[in-house]
Amino acid sequence: QVQLVETGGGVAQTGGSLRLTCVASESSRMITNMNWYRQAPYKQRELVATITRGGTTTYADAVKGRFTISRDNAKNTVYLQMDSLKPEDTAVYYCRVFNGAFYWGQGTQVTVSA
């Protein structure tokens, strides 16, 4: 069973930056993909970014060029660097991994003010 601890959420102004961190209780080398999702008020939860075991990344169109996902397998950690933030980025952000089953973090609130 994988436990995920997320930190780094908070409040930023339009154009600002935040960095989210998700630490897994088991080695990231045993995990294939690691993902960041988000859920805004009145919207479905959406996939924001994915990183594979080998470091290949994909992004939702809405965040391309602004967000960067990365991982440090030695520290069992995945990051989401968020730059050029917009009010529409406001949401609860969730880390997800797969290790025989899907595991979710508790979520961290990101609020971007105009």
Q: pLDDT tens digit string along 34-66?
A: 999 999 999 999 999 999 988 999 999 999 999
pLDDT for res 54: 86
pLDDT for res 16: 98
- Amino acid 85 reads L
What are the DSSP calls for the chain, one per residue?
---EEEE--EEEETT--EEEEEEESS-GGG---EEEEEE-TTS--EEEEEE-TT--EEE-GGGTTTEEEEEEGGGTEEEEEE-S--GGG-EEEEEEEESSSEEE---EEEEEE-
pLDDT at 7 over 60: yes
pLDDT at 12 over 90: yes
pLDDT for res 38: 98
Are the C-beta atoms of residues 18 and 3 closer than 8 Å to each other? no
pLDDT at 28 over 60: no
Which tens digits make up the pLDDT trace of 82-91?
999 999 999 9
Are the C-beta atoms of residues 92 and 112 closer than 8 Å to each other? no
Q: Cα separation of 23 and 4, whole Å?
A: 6
pLDDT for res 17: 98
pLDDT for res 1: 77
Are the C-beta atoms of residues 111 and 10 closer than 8 Å to each other? yes
